[in-house]
Structure 1
């Protein structure tokens, strides 16, 4: 009996905690309401299973508890090694529950990886323990990049011989700025270990795998400043790997973008010796880089 009471109290406490907890989702700031819907469906299905199964367990402990004989009435357990009917019902309801949780997520994922044709491409680069970003210049195209091109003067590893990359805007260790209402494809790469780009208000996240370019897209729906978190344990400084994403009005975004430094300016300001090393590396690279965005 005490165990049954403890299980019932656990159910009541868990439900009360979720209903009255001050820790809940942050207000959404992107177009991914479908991800919230998928989370809600999963929560309600799991909650129904949790409450139902635990209350059934408490009821079974009370109903079938050990009791001594009373006035000739015995309480003998019934041994039933198989019950095909019960097993079929359990399999059916389990399948329905799993399908109910998977379907909204699959629908959201299909949209998550289907980038609109008018989306602007922006690159986010993770390294221990900071974020850097790259924007296309007037040509609207990000240039190629590769690990062989990384030098102290070329931290993101842009190919100096690629004409598409000369007008790219480089923001190392700064904030990510986006224009409200404009779809953007964020391509992701890592310079060292596994990272994960995550903005809770956007409901969007994706792993950054060394040597592989990953991506997702979103449309910011309100202006503001939000935290960028690394959602993958990436070393001793993981807790401090934070950044800011600033969602501006289109006019403010254009004004900010006009103040940024292009890769062409970085090359022009680099010492001649460093520039020579960079060009030599570029000429020595005879195979296409896996970091090419195009």
Structure 2
């Protein structure tokens, strides 16, 4: 009897906690309302199952408790009950899977007008690359990564010369524009996640992953790494600024291209060689 009361109180407490809890999803700031819908439908289906099953358990414990003059009826099989359980379990599973499958179909279908941004993760920071005037990102590979080429862009690829490089943790996006996020990792598993965008994806060493989304609200949001990537995992943060197209274009025009980076590195190398030569001459 006491156990039945405890189970019923547990169900009641869970419902009250959920209704009064201050912890809920962050405000949506992208087009992925379908992901929210899939999560909420799953939550409600699981909630109904939790409440019904636990209240049935409490009722069974109370109604069929041990009492003098009552004898248990042994029934090893009940085909009718099994069919009902199978039916409703199937309905519940289908109800949880269908919204997610519909959302996933949209998730992997990138709009033709989506712009491209590459996000590169490493322990424990982010870097970003935008295509230049040609609209195409140059090829990149781990073999090309060096202190002078942190993104690993192929210096022989002409499409990479006008690529725009952002080595700070702050990313800018224009509001209302579909964006395809191309993801690469330099070292271990990472995950690009902005809670308000809902969309996320792992960065896997050796392969290129992607997802797409459309920012719908102007604002500044946190970029988190949602994959345990080492002792500095908690510090792998960034910010994404969603702003008007005019503000975004202005910010983008201030960033350095890969061609400019190569020229800068070459100029610095020539200065070092000149200084070294002058030092040797003076030493004689």
Instruction: Name the TM-score, length of structure 2 as normaliser.
Output: 0.93
Tell me, in whole angstroms, the C-alpha distance in 1 between the residues paired with 2:269 and 2:71: 87
- Aligned pair 1:95/2:90, yes or no? yes
Tell me, in whole angstroms, the C-alpha distance in 2 between the residues paired with 1:143 and 1:274: 24
Match of 1:237 among 232, 238, 253: 232
Say if 1:153 and 1:274, in contact at 8 Å, map to a contact too: no
Say if 2:218 and 2:244, in contact at 8 Å, map to a contact too: yes
Correspondence for 2:59? 59
Tell me, in whole angstroms, the C-alpha distance in 2 between the residues paired with 1:235 and 1:14: 35
- Tell me the CA shift for residue 173 of structure 1: 3.1
Match of 2:138 among 130, 137, 143: 143
Q: Superposition RMSD on alpha carbons, in Å?
A: 1.3
- Tell me the CA shift for residue 272 of structure 1: 7.2
| Alignment of structure 1 residues 196-215 onto 2, 5 Å | 196-215=191-210
- Tell me the CA shift for residue 232 of structure 1: 0.8
Correspondence for 1:45? 45
- Aligned pair 1:84/2:79, yes or no? yes
Unaligned runs of 5+ in 2: 271-284
Correspondence for 1:281? none
Tell me, in whole angstroms, the C-alpha distance in 1 between the residues paired with 2:269 and 2:158: 19
- Aligned pair 1:185/2:205, yes or no? no
1:270 is paired with a residue of what secondary structure? helix
What is the aligned length?
A: 270
Say if 1:181 and 1:221, in contact at 8 Å, map to a contact too: yes
Correspondence for 2:278? none
2:83 is paired with a residue of what secondary structure? helix
Tell me, in whole angstroms, the C-alpha distance in 2 between the residues paired with 1:172 and 1:21: 39
- Tell me the CA shift for residue 174 of structure 1: 2.6
Correspondence for 1:6? 6
The Cα offsets for residues 48-94 of structure 1, whole Å up to 9 and x where unpaired, read as 000000000000010011112xxxxx211111111111111111100
Say if 2:28 and 2:197, in contact at 8 Å, map to a contact too: yes
Say if 2:169 and 2:237, in contact at 8 Å, map to a contact too: no
- Aligned pair 1:130/2:114, yes or no? no
